[in-house]
C-alpha cells in the first residue's frame, strides 16, 4: 500500500511539472503565435492582470481581508515610476524598483491604520483610500499633471510598436513568475500558516499566540509592493497616465473578481481568473463595441461568484461534477443503497431468523471489505 | 485531490492561452487591390465627457465621406469610415487605434476629438508610422511631444484662440474696458489653454485677475466656484470650458444673480444645445470659433449646402474641423498617389509639411511640429443668433458690450 | 480675501447640501442596522432614481418631482425583494463582507445599465425655474436647492416619525438593536428586515429625485457620493439614524466652507480624513452608535 501511494505521488508530481513546463512554453511562445500586434497588446494586458490578481491574492487570499481598493497601490506604483522618470531623470527600471520601495514604506502606516478594523470596515477604508488618492492626484496638477495626464517616456525609444509590446510581454511574464514564487514560498512557510489561521478565525489564532497584527501587516506590505511593481511596469509600457484610470475602483474590483473566480486558495487561481476575465473583457469589446455592457457583465459575474462560488470556480465545478458523477464521494453515507441491501441480504442469509439486519440497522461498520470499498 | 486540481488548473490555463491565440487568428486583414475601398480608421468619443462635440466630429467625417464618394472617391476608390467609440477614455482610445491599425489594417487614420485624447492616440499612430491629421488637438502640449507625423486641421492653436478678443479689449478706452477678470478653467489641456492664453495677454495689459479656478473634468457642482466669482464682482468672466461644465457654471452664476459685463466661454456656445440648456439667456455670450458657415471659400459653400441636405442644419465648428481633416488628408493622398500603411504614410507626411491646402476654414499650412499658422475668430450671440464679431474684416455684426443680463 | 457675505453664502449652500446628505445617510444606516449589510449600491440607486426623474421630465414635460409617485414605491418593492432573495442567501458568518462585494456588484451592474441605456453623456434637467433664486440676508438661495432640501427634510422627518411613533417603527428599532431579543419578543424579524430594506431604498428614490432638480448626472456619479456617505455613517456611528443626520449636516457644512480656501476637490477630502480619524480614534462613531463593533 505504502509504495503504491508513494509512486502515485511521484507520478502526480511529474504530471504537475510536465503541465507546468507545457504551460510555460505555450505562454512564452505567445508573441510568436499572435496574429497581429493588437492581439499581442491584449496579451500584455492579460499578463498584467495576472500579476495584479496574484499580488492581491497575497493578502486577500491568505488573510481573508478583502481589499477593494488595491487600485491605490497600482496607481501609486504607476505614478511613482512615472514621476521619478520625468521629474528626477531616473532610468526607467531603476525608477520602477524605487517606486515599489516607496510604496512598500507607505504601505506600513496605511496598513497599521486599515488593519485595525476588520471585515466590512476594512473594505470601506480600502475604497476610501482609492477615492482620496484619486482626488489628490487630480487636484495636485502642478506635480502630477492632474487630469491632463502624465506622459511616461518609453524605456526603449527606438522600438516600433509591435516589438515594444513583445518586450513588455516577457517583462510582465518575469514579474508574474516572481509574484507566483512569492506566493508559493509564503504558502509553504510558517508565516503562511499563520496567515491562513487568521483567515479561518482571527481571534482564536491570536489566542493561540500567532502575532496576528505583525503577520497581517507583513502580508499587506508584500502585496502592496507587488501591486506597485505591476502598476509601475504598466506605466512604462502604456506611457500615458491619468488619475481616473490609475486610481480606479473598477480595477480593484477586477483584481478581486479574478482572484475569487479562479480560486483564492491555489497558486494559479488568480492567473486563471485573469485569463478568463481579461479575455472576456476583450471579447466583449470586440463583439459588442464599446458599450457599458461589460460593466453589467462584471457586476453579474461578481454577484454570481459571491453568491454561488465564493471559493472559486474550480472547486464549485468540481463539487458539481462530484455531485452528479461521483455521488459516493459527495455523500455523507459510507455505503450505497445497493451495497446496503446486499449486506442485509447476506446477513439475513448468514443468520437465519433475521437478527438485527432490519430497516433500522446501521449502515456503516458491518463488514470490512464493504467499508474499504466505500471509502475513497 | 490537490494534485489533480493543480495539474488540471495548469492545463486549463494553457488551454485558455491557446484558445486566446487561436481565436485571434480568426481576424483577417484585408488584401489591397485597387478596387477595394480605402478604409479610414477613426476613434471618437461618442459617449462620455466629450460626446457632444464628438458626435459633431462624426457628422463632419460622414459628410466628407459622402461628398468624396459622390464625386468618385479618392484615387478612384470609394472611401469607407470605420468609427469606434472610445467613450472619452484615454485608455480606450489607445486600444481603439491599436485595433484599427494593428488588427484591422486600415489604410489611413483620422484624428479624434479633444486634446486630452489626441496625445495618446497620436503616439500609437506615430509608433506605427502613420500620418495623423487631427481636428481637435490644439493645446501647446500636443506640439511639444516630438511627434513627426501630426497635423492640426484648424486655423490656430489653443493659446491663440482669443487673440482677436484680447486685442479688442486692450484697444478699448481705459475707462470703458473691464478692470477685473475671473477665470474658471477645466483641467484639460485645450480648455485651460484657451483661457490661459487670454489671461496672459490681459494680465500683461494690466487687467487684474481676481479669481483663477481650475477644476477636474468630471466636476458637476459649481456652487462654490460660482460663489467666489459672484463675490468678486469681476467685470468679466472667462471660461476655459468644454460643454456641460460651461452650462453648469452659467446656471450656478445665474442662481447667484451675477451679471458680468463680458462673458466668454470656449467650445460650449458653439454647440446647438447650448441656448436651451441655459434657459435661452444667451445674449452677449462670446466664444472663439475657427469656423463660420457663411465664409465664402469655395469648398465651404459646397460643404454647407451638402451638409444641410444630409442633416438638416448648417454645420458648426466641430463638423467643420472634421471636414477639414478629411480635406487635408485627401489633398495629400491625391498629390502623392497612394493610400495604404507603410512607406506611403511617410510620403504623405512630407508632402503636407511643404504644401498649403485649401479648406473650408481657408488655406492651411503648418510648421515643423504640426502647428497651423492662422487665427481664430470671435463669435457672439447677437439678437438670439450666433454672429461673427471679430476680426473686423470678417465680422457680421457689432460686438455687444456690456452684456445684457442673463 | 474671504468676505463675510461669501462665508454666509457658503454656509447656506452647506446647509442645503447637508440636508440631502442626511437623508441619504439615513437610508444607509437602515440597511446596516437591520441586517449588518453595507450597501454600496445605495448611491447607485440614487443615481438611477435621478435618471428616472430626468427621463420622466424629458418624455412628459411634467415636473420631475412627480416621478417620485412611481419610483418610491417601486424602489421599496425592489428593496424588499433584494433583501429576501439575495442578502439572505449569504452565509451569516461572512455576511457583512460578502454583502459589500455583492452590493458592489449590483452597483456596477446599475452603472453599466445606465451607461448602456442613456450613454455617458452628462444630463441635466432643464426646468424653467433652474436659474431662479431669492435673497436671504444678503445671500442668494437657489429655488431648486431649497426644494431639494425641503424634500429631504420632509422625508427625514417622516422617517423619524415612523421610527418613533408607529408599531412597525418600534419593531424595526428593536430588530436593529438586538435581533434575537426582538424575535423572543414575538417580532417577525425577517419580514421587518425586508421592509426596513425597502424603506431604505425608498429614501434613495426620494433623494435621487431631489438630486435630479439641480445636479448634473452621469452613470459613474455614484462613486462620487458613496465615499462621503460611507464616511458619514462611520463618523455618525453605524446604526444610528440621528447620528448619521448630525454627522451629515456637520460634514456637509464643513465641506462647503472648506471649498473657499481649498477649492472644490480638496474640500472633498474632508470626508475621508474624518473617516480615517474616526476609525483611528473612535471606531464606534462619535454620535451614539451602539451597534458599531469590530464587525
Answer yes or no: is pLDDT of A357 > 50.
no
Provide mean pLDDT across the span C203-207.
91
Q: Look at residue A48 and tell me if it is in a domain.
A: yes
Report the gap between the CA of A197 and the closest CA in chain B (Å). Answer: 19
Name the neighbours of C, counting chains with at least 3 Cβ pairs within 8 A. A, B
Is residue B50 classed as helix, strand or coil in its secondary structure? Answer: coil
Q: How far apart are the first and last CA of chain C?
A: 46
Residues B227, B225: Cα–Cα separation, whole Å: 5
Of B88 and C171, the structure prediction assigns the larger pLDDT to: C171
Residues 6+ apart with CB under 8 A from A17: none
Q: What is the predicted pLDDT for the residue at B172?
A: 87
Q: What is the CATH number of the domain that holds A208?
A: 1.10.3470
Element (H, E) at B126: helix B115-127
Return the number of other C-beta atoms located less than 10 Å from residue C210's C-beta: 31
Q: Look at residue A176 and tell me if it is in a domain.
A: yes
Residues 6+ apart with CB under 8 A from A174: none
Provide mean pLDDT across the span B246-267.
89
Report the gap between the CA of B219 and the closest CA in chain C (Å). Answer: 9
Q: What is the CA radius of gyration of chain A?
A: 26
Q: Is the peptide bond before B391 cis (omega within 30 degrees of 0)?
A: yes
Answer yes or no: is pLDDT of B20 > 60.
no
Counting residues of chain C whose pLDDT is more than 90, the rounded percentage is 15
Pick from A120, A301, A307: CB nearest C295:
A120
Pick from A131, A138, A296: CB nearest C112:
A296
pLDDT, tens digit (0-9, with 9 covering 90-100), for A71-91: 999 999 999 999 999 988 888
**Cβ pairs A/C, distance under 8 A:** 134
Q: Residue B204 burial by CB count (10 A; 0-12/13-18/19+): exposed, middle or buried?
A: exposed
Domain that holds residue A282: 34-317
Nearest-CA neighbor of B220 among C218, C141, A147?
Answer: C218
CB A373 within 8 A of CB A342: no
Q: What is the predicted pLDDT for the residue at C170?
A: 87
Do the Cβ atoms of B221 and C215 come within 8 Å?
yes
Report the gap between the CA of A300 and the closest CA in chain C (Å). Answer: 7
Residues B64, B45: Cα–Cα separation, whole Å: 19
Of C96 and B333, the structure prediction assigns the larger pLDDT to: B333
What backbone torsions phi and psi does residue A301 show, to the nearest 5 degrees?
-60, -45
C241-262 vs C222-236: helix axis angle to the nearest 10?
Answer: 120
In chain A, the number of structural domains is 1
Residues C192, C197: Cα–Cα separation, whole Å: 9
Top residue of B4, B47, B98, B196 to mutate, by most chain A CBs within 10 Å, is B98
Answer yes or no: is pLDDT of B386 > 90.
no
What backbone torsions phi and psi does residue A41 show, to the nearest 5 degrees?
-65, -35
Query: B12 falls in which pLDDT band (50, 70, 90)?
Result: low
Do the Cβ atoms of B255 and C265 come within 8 Å?
no
- Output the CA angle C150-C151-C153, nearest 5 degrees: 65
Report the gap between the CA of C261 and the closest CA in chain A (Å). Answer: 14
- Report DSSP letters for A315-370, one per residue: HHHHHHHHHHH-HHHH-S-SS-HHHHHHHHHHHHHHSTT-TT-STT--SSSS-HHH
Name residue B182's beta-bridge partners: B211, B237
Answer yes or no: is pLDDT of A374 > 50.
no
Domain range list for chain C? 4-294
Q: Look at residue A165 and tell me if it is in a domain.
A: yes
Nearest-CA neighbor of A255 among A115, A83, A52?
Answer: A52
Name residue B377's beta-bridge partners: B289
Is residue B107 classed as helix, strand or coil in its secondary structure? Answer: coil
Q: What is the predicted pLDDT for the residue at B21?
A: 47
Q: Look at residue A116 and tell me if it is in a domain.
A: yes
b/e per residue C143-157 (b: at least 16 CB within 10 A): bbbbbbbebbeebbe
Top residue of C35, C88, C92, C105 to mutate, by most chain A CBs within 10 Å, is C105
Q: Which value, to the nearest 10 degrees, does the dihedral of the CA atoms of residues A342, A348, A349, A351 take? A: 140
- Output the CA angle A78-A83-A85, nearest 5 degrees: 100
Q: What is the CA radius of gyration of chain B?
A: 23
What backbone torsions phi and psi does residue C166 show, to the nearest 5 degrees?
-105, 160
CB B239 within 8 A of CB B249: yes
What backbone torsions phi and psi does residue B289 show, to the nearest 5 degrees?
-145, 145
Measured CA to CA in angstroms, residue C7 lies from B228, C255, C257 at distances of: 10, 12, 7
* DSSP strands (E only) in B241-281: 262-265
- Report DSSP letters for A249-270, one per residue: HHHHHHHHHHHHHH-TTSTTHH
Do the Cβ atoms of A19 and B12 come within 8 Å?
no
Residues of chain B found within 8 Å of residue C128, distances taken between Cβ atoms: 279
Query: A352 falls in which pLDDT band (50, 70, 90)?
Result: low
pLDDT, tens digit (0-9, with 9 covering 90-100), for A256-281: 889 988 888 888 889 999 999 888 88
Residues of chain C found within 8 Å of residue B227, distances taken between Cβ atoms: 6, 9-10, 13, 260
CATH class of C4-294: mainly alpha
ipTM of the complex: 0.81
Name residue B358's beta-bridge partners: B363
Q: Look at residue A217 and tell me if it is in a domain.
A: yes
Q: What is the CA radius of gyration of chain C?
A: 19
Answer yes or no: is pLDDT of C173 > 70.
yes
Measured CA to CA in angstroms, residue B253 lies from B109, B219, B240, C3 at distances of: 41, 15, 15, 18
b/e per residue B252-283 (b: at least 16 CB within 10 A): bbbbbbbebbbbbbbbbbbbeebbebbbebbb
Query: A172 falls in which pLDDT band (50, 70, 90)?
Result: very high
Nearest-CA neighbor of C115 among A375, B49, A48, A363?
Answer: B49
Answer yes or no: is pLDDT of B23 > 80.
no
Amino acid at each position: 500500500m505504502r509504495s503504491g501511494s508513494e509512486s502515485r505521488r511521484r507520478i502526480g508530481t511529474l504530471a504537475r511539472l510536465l503541465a507546468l513546463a507545457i504551460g510555460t512554453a505555450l505562454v512564452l511562445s505567445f508573441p510568436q503565435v499572435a496574429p497581429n500586434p493588437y492581439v499581442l497588446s491584449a496579451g500584455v494586458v492579460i499578463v498584467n492582470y495576472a500579476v495584479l490578481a496574484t499580488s492581491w491574492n497575497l493578502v486577500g487570499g491568505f488573510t481573508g481581508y478583502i481589499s477593494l481598493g488595491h487600485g491605490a497601490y497600482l496607481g501609486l506604483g504607476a505614478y511613482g515610476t512615472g514621476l521619478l522618470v520625468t521629474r528626477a531623470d531616473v532610468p526607467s527600471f531603476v525608477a520602477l524598483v524605487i517606486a515599489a520601495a516607496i510604496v512598500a514604506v507607505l504601505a506600513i502606516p496605511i496598513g497599521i491604520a486599515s488593519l485595525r478594523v476588520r471585515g466590512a470596515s476594512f473594505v470601506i477604508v480600502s475604497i476610501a483610500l482609492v477615492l482620496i488618492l484619486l482626488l489628490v492626484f487630480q487636484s495636485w496638477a502642478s506635480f502630477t499633471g492632474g487630469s491632463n495626464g502624465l506622459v511616461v517616456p518609453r524605456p526603449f525609444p527606438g522600438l516600433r510598436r509591435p516589438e515594444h509590446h513583445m518586450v513588455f510581454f516577457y517583462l510582465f511574464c518575469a514579474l508574474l513568475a516572481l509574484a507566483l514564487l512569492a506566493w508559493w514560498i509564503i504558502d509553504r512557510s510558517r508565516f503562511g500558516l499563520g496567515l491562513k489561521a487568521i483567515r479561518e478565525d482571527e481571534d482564536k489564532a491570536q489566542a493561540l499566540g500567532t502575532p496576528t497584527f505583525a503577520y497581517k501587516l507583513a502580508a499587506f506590505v508584500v502585496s502592496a509592493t507587488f501591486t506597485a511593481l505591476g502598476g509601475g511596469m504598466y506605466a512604462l509600457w502604456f506611457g500615458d497616465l491619468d488619475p481616473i484610470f490609475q486610481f480606479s475602483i473598477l480595477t480593484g474590483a477586477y483584481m478581486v473578481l479574478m482572484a475569487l473566480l479562479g480560486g483564492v486558495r491555489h497558486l494559479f487561481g488568480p492567473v486563471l481568473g485573469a485569463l478568463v476575465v481579461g479575455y472576456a473583457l476583450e471579447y466583449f469589446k470586440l463583439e459588442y463595441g464599446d458599450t457599458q455592457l461589460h460593466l453589467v457583465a462584471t457586476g453579474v459575474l461578481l454577484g454570481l461568484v459571491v453568491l454561488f462560488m465564493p471559493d472559486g470556480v474550480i472547486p464549485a465545478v468540481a463539487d458539481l461534477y462530484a455531485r452528479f458523477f461521483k455521488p459516493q464521494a459527495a455523500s455523507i453515507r459510507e455505503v450505497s443503497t445497493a451495497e446496503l441491501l446486499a449486506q442485509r441480504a447476506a446477513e439475513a442469509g448468514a443468520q437465519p431468523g433475521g437478527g438485527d439486519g432490519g430497516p433500522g440497522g446501521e449502515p456503516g461498520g458491518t463488514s470490512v471489505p464493504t467499508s474499504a470499498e466505500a471509502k475513497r | 485531490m490537490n494534485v489533480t486540481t493543480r495539474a488540471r488548473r495548469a492545463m486549463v490555463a494553457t488551454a485558455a492561452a491557446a484558445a486566446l491565440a487561436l481565436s485571434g487568428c480568426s481576424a483577417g486583414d484585408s488584401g489591397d487591390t485597387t478596387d477595394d475601398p480605402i478604409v479610414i480608421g477613426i476613434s471618437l468619443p461618442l459617449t462620455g465627457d466629450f460626446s457632444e462635440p464628438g458626435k459633431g466630429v462624426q457628422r463632419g467625417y460622414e459628410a466628407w465621406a459622402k461628398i468624396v464618394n459622390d464625386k468618385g472617391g479618392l484615387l478612384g476608390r470609394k472611401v469607407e469610415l470605420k468609427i469606434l467609440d472610445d467613450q472619452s477614455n484615454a485608455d480606450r482610445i489607445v486600444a481603439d487605434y491599436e485595433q484599427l491599425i494593428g488588427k484591422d489594417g486600415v489604410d489611413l487614420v483620422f484624428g479624434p476629438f479633444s486634446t486630452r485624447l489626441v496625445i495618446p492616440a497620436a503616439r500609437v499612430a506615430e509608433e506605427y508610422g502613420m500620418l495623423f491629421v487631427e481636428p481637435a488637438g490644439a493645446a501647446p502640449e500636443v506640439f511639444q511631444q516630438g511627434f513627426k507625423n501630426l497635423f492640426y486641421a484648424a486655423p490656430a492653436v489653443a493659446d491663440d484662440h482669443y487673440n482677436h478678443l484680447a486685442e479688442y479689449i486692450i484697444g478699448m478706452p481705459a475707462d470703458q474696458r473691464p478692470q477685473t477678470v475671473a477665470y474658471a478653467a477645466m483641467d484639460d489641456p485645450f480648455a485651460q489653454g484657451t483661457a490661459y492664453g487670454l489671461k496672459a495677454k490681459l494680465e500683461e495689459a494690466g487687467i487684474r485677475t481676481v479669481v483663477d479656478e481650475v477644476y477636474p473634468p468630471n466636476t458637476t457642482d459649481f456652487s462654490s466656484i460660482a460663489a467666489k466669482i459672484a463675490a468678486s464682482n469681476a467685470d468679466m468672466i472667462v471660461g476655459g470650458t468644454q460643454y456641460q461644465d460651461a452650462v453648469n457654471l452659467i446656471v450656478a452664476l445665474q442662481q447667484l444673480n451675477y451679471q458680468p459685463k463680458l462673458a466668454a466661454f470656449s467650445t460650449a456656445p458653439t454647440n446647438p444645445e447650448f441656448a436651451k440648456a441655459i434657459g435661452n439667456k444667451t445674449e452677449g455670450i462670446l466664444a472663439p470659433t475657427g469656423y463660420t458657415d457663411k465664409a465664402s471659400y469655395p469648398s465651404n459653400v459646397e460643404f454647407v449646402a451638402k451638409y444641410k441636405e444630409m442633416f438638416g442644419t448648417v454645420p458648426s465648428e466641430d463638423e467643420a474641423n472634421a471636414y477639414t481633416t478629411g480635406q487635408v488628408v485627401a489633398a495629400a493622398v491625391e498629390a502623392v498617389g497612394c493610400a495604404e500603411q507603410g512607406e506611403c504614410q511617410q510620403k504623405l507626411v512630407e508632402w503636407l509639411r511643404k504644401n498649403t491646402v485649401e479648406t473650408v476654414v481657408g488655406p492651411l499650412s503648418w510648421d515643423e511640429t504640426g502647428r497651423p499658422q492662422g487665427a481664430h475668430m470671435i463669435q457672439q450671440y447677437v439678437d438670439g443668433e450666433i454672429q461673427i464679431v471679430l476680426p473686423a474684416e470678417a465680422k457680421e455684426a457689432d460686438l455687444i458690450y456690456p452684456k445684457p443680463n442673463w | 480675501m474671504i468676505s463675510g457675505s461669501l462665508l454666509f453664502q457658503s454656509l447656506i449652500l452647506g446647509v442645503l447640501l447637508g440636508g440631502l446628505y442626511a437623508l441619504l445617510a439615513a437610508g444607509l444606516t437602515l440597511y446596516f442596522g437591520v441586517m449588518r449589510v453595507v450597501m454600496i449600491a445605495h448611491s447607485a440607486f440614487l443615481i438611477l432614481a435621478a435618471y428616472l426623474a430626468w427621463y420622466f421630465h424629458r418624455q412628459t414635460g411634467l415636473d420631475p418631482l412627480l416621478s417620485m409617485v412611481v419610483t418610491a414605491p417601486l424602489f421599496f418593492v425592489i428593496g424588499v425583494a433584494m433583501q429576501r432573495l439575495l442578502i439572505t442567501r449569504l452565509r451569516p458568518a461572512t455576511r457583512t463582507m460578502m454583502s459589500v462585494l455583492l452590493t458592489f456588484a449590483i452597483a456596477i451592474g446599475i452603472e453599466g445599465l445606465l451607461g448602456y441605456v442613456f450613454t455617458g453623456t452628462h444630463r441635466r434637467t432643464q426646468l424653467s425655474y433652474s436659474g431662479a433664486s431669492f435673497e436671504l440676508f444678503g445671500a442668494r438661495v437657489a429655488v431648486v436647492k431649497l426644494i431639494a432640501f425641503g424634500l429631504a427634510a420632509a422625508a427625514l422627518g417622516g422617517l423619524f416619525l415612523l421610527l418613533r411613533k408607529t408599531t412597525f417603527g418600534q419593531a424595526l428599532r428593536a430588530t436593529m438593536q438586538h435581533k434575537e431579543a426582538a424575535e423572543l419578543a414575538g417580532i417577525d424579524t425577517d419580514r421587518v428586515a425586508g421592509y426596513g430594506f425597502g424603506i431604505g431604498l425608498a429614501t434613495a428614490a426620494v433623494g435621487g429625485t431631489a438630486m435630479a432638480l439641480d445636479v448634473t448626472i452621469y452613470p459613474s456619479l455614484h462613486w462620487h457620493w458613496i465615499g462621503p456617505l460611507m464616511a458619514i455613517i462611520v463618523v455618525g456611528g453605524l446604526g444610528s439614524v440621528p447620528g448619521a443626520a448630525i454627522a451629515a449636516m456637520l460634514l456637509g457644512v464643513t465641506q462647503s466652507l472648506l471649498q473657499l480656501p481649498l477649492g472644490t476637490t480638496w474640500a472633498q477630502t474632508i470626508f475621508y480624513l474624518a473617516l480615517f480619524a474616526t476609525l483611528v480614534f473612535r471606531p464606534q462613531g462619535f454620535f451614539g452608535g451602539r451597534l458599531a463593533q469590530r464587525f
